[in-house]
Structure 1
Amino acid sequence: MSRHDVAVAGVGMHPWGKWGKNFVEYGVHAARAALADSSIAWQDVDLVVGGETVRNGYAGYVAGSTFASALGWNGARIATSYAACATGAQALDTARARILAGMSEVALVVGADTTPKGFLAPNAGERWEDPDWLRFRLLGMTNPAYFALYARRRMDLYGATPEDFAAVKVKNARHGLENPNARYRKEVSVEDVLTSAVVSDPLHLLDICATSDGAAAVVLCSTEYAAKHGIGGGVRINAISTVTPTFPNTVIDMPLLSTDSANAVGAPEQTFKEAIGQAAYDEAGIDPADVSVAEVYDLSTALELDWIEDLQLCKRGEAEALLRAGDTTIGGRIPVNPSGGLACFGEAVPAQALAQVCEIAWQLRGRATGRQVEGARVGITANQGLFGHGSSVILSV
């Protein structure tokens, strides 16, 4: 057992969709589902960590307190985390740290969101030191345009095609058919993707995930508590990586895109997203070859292919070959996004890293009905928070 291990006592979700309700309702639903799954009473929870949701007013900014209040004051300590799309994993890390320090026995981590229609936009007001605000307002670089640059890079460097990107969507849509929490549960064809509206060339509408309402929750406890009470089914979190780049050995993007001056001082050892995954492997004491299943951040179809390589599930430039061979589908060598991914869920930002952990926990317990990866023993997740932060979580049974 790793000195970093904590037990996953229970997991729960509120289905993703556009429900038009307050985010608290979704979070409470997911929290109660996770508590029921754990068989731990709410009164025994001594820590609540909420994933902050910046679009939902003051209650969203103090999400830990908001969820604790909505569930009924029980005297638990509270904390709130925000890290964009990596919010859920950072919230988990806060809970894990207190458990490993002996300051908590049972922690409830909740993320929930109510999102506006359309692609996510920056919050109101001028924020001249915010790279996201600058990217949106000064460069006109919305998220779909940002994703399209990644996609175009794969085409130029590795020979990826729009058909490859469409095949990612086809795979994930098929995976999500039997997922009761997925928003989109409909098969699509490559032709459906390629004939959908072009949003930012080479990406079409069906290449890009939607925004959604939804929630996910995880109950963590010490391994001793889990053993004593016979809970959790043996699922443990072995590592949570939230590392930042290490200058000058890590760059935000591919070293092949480095400027001449950067190349003059030596090529970086790894990219930022590779650093996130490697830190998780190092902490868990495992190799990429040990991974049975992965849930990765498919904001666009092309980004899924990047993450497969960043997590070292194949060599750089080989993700398309894995996809074409069927290795990343359920039944293949390394199934990726058996939940259906964000392609089937959409973005509910504070919840999505937690939703990935929920899926991996179900997979490791053999409870992912209709989408089960047989014999899954180790799972990894990945999210990018943009501009120097992200997350990866490793679970095993």
Structure 2
Amino acid sequence: MSGDVAVLGAGMHPWGKWGRSFVEYGTAAARAALADAGVGWRDVDAVVGADTVRGGYPGYVAGATFARALGWQGARVSSVYAACASGAQAIATARAQILAGLADVVLVVGADAAPKGFFAPAGGDRPDDPDWLRFRLLGATNPAYFALYARRRMAVYGDTPEDFALVKVKNAAAGALNPHARYRTPVTPDEVAASPVVADPLRLLDICATSDGGAALVLSSMAYARVHGVGEPVRVRAVSTVTPTYPRAVLDLPDIATDSAAGAAPAPPFREAIATAAYEEAGIGPGDLSLAEVYDLSTALELEWYEDLGLCGRGEAAKLLREGATALGGRVPVNASGGLASFGEAVPAQAIAQVCELTWQLRGTAGPRQVPGARAGITANQGLFGHGSAVVAVR
């Protein structure tokens, strides 16, 4: 049986700092997606909400929260939390229901009203969580964590702060063309270099903000799409939600021999494993991609994704960037939406927003940021406690 499901509709609430409830953002995105799909709310069989831990009890039961806001009509509901991967896991849940024959049409919604500044660790003490341990034992907030990756790239591959700045310049140029983006002003390398240092070598413009925003998708079975006259819909072909493999669980570090790992084959870095699983399920490879949407929590981390997605070899990401291959008009644009550099992070919405961008690009309706002839794209992100995801969409 084919693993494809159709993307009938995509919708977003613009990112920003609006000071309103996440429910408002998600409901607006859901209505936009339904209108885009030409599907009535009463025709939706199930709602999957990506949870937000900052939204109180309604945030923990996001599926039911959005169903209530749209008007109870008897749809099944599910609620999913997976940190930064929440949106993609919500897509995976919807896809599973469709492929199992439990639903023909599923609405997927994620939205957040984020605090200003760093995200504080949530959920109490978690001594088994490597991310909690680096918060508590190292005092490493997310920007400090990103800076460690940046320093490693500088030491191992010779990347420079000027390379990192070019990522921001590229993404800001794309974001300036996106009406849903929060930041829509191009920036120069000098402006990145002049912004305040947050965690050396990363500056303020190297790191994404926290934002409010919402995104939604209407997914259906391929049979439903055909019956309703959608001739060649965008299709979700793969969703990877793999976990790390011991002993290389979090950082891409050299293997350390232990009794339990003795004789074992080295595990791939986690982000590479996320992408590999998606490619294998979709039956495509990096060379088949028209574009990619990745979690650019920092400029240096975007470069890591180039290598993890197989767009280039290890240590070659900065060269790929400098050549213009990942910019609009390049061989494989990365973050044609503008990425987190232009949106900021609305945690449960962003992975859904990434698929919205793939949908518009594969339809050929992305306007001035359109990737010509786009036929296949991948999204990728990594969340706390071993959550990660990649989604492959094709047309």
Q: TM-score category by the smaller chain?
A: over 0.9
Letter in structure 1 aligned against 2:108 = V
In structure 2, the partner of 1:258 is 255
TM-score, length-scaled by structure 2:
0.96
- For 2:105 and 2:111, how far apart are their aligned partners in 1? 20
Question: 1:9, 1:232 within 8 Å by CA — same for their partners in 2?
Answer: no
Specify the alignment match of 1:201 in structure 2: 200
What residue identity is the alignment partner of 2:361? Q
Residues 82-110 of structure 1, C-alpha deviation per residue, up to 9 Å, x if partnerless? 11001000000000001000010000000
**Match in the other structure for 1:88:** 87
Output the CA distance in 1 between the equivalents of 2:113 and 2:358: 24
Q: State the 1:157 CA deviation.
A: 1.0
Do the aligned partners of 1:7 and 1:232 also contact (CA within 8 Å) in 2?
A: no
- Structure 2: how far apart are the matches of 1:368 and 1:106? 24
Match of 2:186 in 1: 187
Partner AA of 1:322 in structure 2: L
Amino acid at match of 1:323: L
Q: Residue 295 of structure 2 aligns with which residue?
A: 297
Instruction: Give the counterpart letter for 1:363 in structure 2.
Output: Q
Aligned counterpart, 2:322: 324
Report the equivalent of 2:13: 14
1:275-319, CA deviations, whole angstroms, 9 ceiling, x for partnerless residues? 110000000011110000000010000000001110111111111
Matched-pair contact (CA < 8 Å) for 1:233–1:365: no
Q: Displacement, 1:253?
A: 2.9
* SS of corresponding position for 2:9: strand
Most deviating of 148-157 and 207-216 = 148-157
Please list the CA deviations of residues 302-343 of structure 1 after superposition, one character each: whole Å capped at 9, or x if unmatched: 000001110111111111111000000011111000000000
Partners of 1:386 and 1:10 lie apart in 2 by: 29
Q: For 1:1-397, what aligned pairs fall within 5 Å after superposition?
A: 3-123=2-122, 125-231=124-230, 233-247=232-246, 251-255=249-253, 257-259=254-256, 265=263, 268-397=266-395
2-structure distance, mates of 1:234, 1:321: 35
The 3-state SS of whatever aligns with 1:178 is: coil
Query: In the alignment, residue 217 of structure 2 is paired with which amino acid?
Result: V
Alignment check: 8 A CA contact 1:49 1:108 kept = yes
C-alpha separation between the residues in 2 aligned to 1:23 and 1:205? Answer: 26
1:124-165 deviations in Å (ceiling 9; x for gaps): 744444443332233211000000011111111111000000
With 36-45 and 266-275 compared, the bigger mean Cα shift is at 266-275
Report the secondary structure of 2:84's partner residue.
coil
**SS at 1:244 equivalent:** coil
Identity of aligned residues (%): 67
* Number of residue pairs the alignment of both structures matches: 394
Give the match's secondary structure for 1:347: coil
**C-alpha distance in 2, partners of 1:243/1:267?**
18
C-alpha contact 1:252 1:387 (8 A) present in aligned 2: no
Distance between the aligned counterparts of 1:317 and 1:189, measured in 2? 24
Offset at residue 370 of structure 1 (A)? 1.2
- Mapped to 2, the partners of 1:246 and 1:156 lie a distance apart of 25
Q: Please say which of residues 312-321 and 258-267 is displaced more in the overlay.
A: 258-267
Q: Contact between 1:38 and 1:232, CA under 8 Å: does it hold in 2?
A: no
Give, as a single letter, the amino acid of the residue that structure 2 aligns with 1:133.
W
Describe the shift of the 1:132–1:164 C-alpha distance in structure 2 as closer, same or farther (beyond 3 A).
same
Question: 1 CA distance for matches of 2:264 and 2:303?
Answer: 27
Q: Kindly provide the amino acid, as one letter, of the partner of residue 42 in structure 1.
A: W
Structure 2 residue runs without a partner (length 5+): none
Q: Distance in 2 between matches of 1:233 and 1:119?
A: 42
For the residues of structure 1 that align with 2:119 and 2:249, how far apart are their CA atoms? 26
Q: Tell me the CA shift for residue 66 of structure 1.
A: 0.2
Distance 1:264 1:389 in 2: 26
SS class of match (1:279): helix
SS in 2 for 1:120: coil
Task: Deviation per CA, 1:207-229: give whole Å up to 9, x if none.
Answer: 00000000000000000100110
Answer yes or no: is the 8 Å Cα contact 1:251–1:270 preserved in 2: no
Offset, 1:387: 3.5
TM-score by length of 1: 0.96
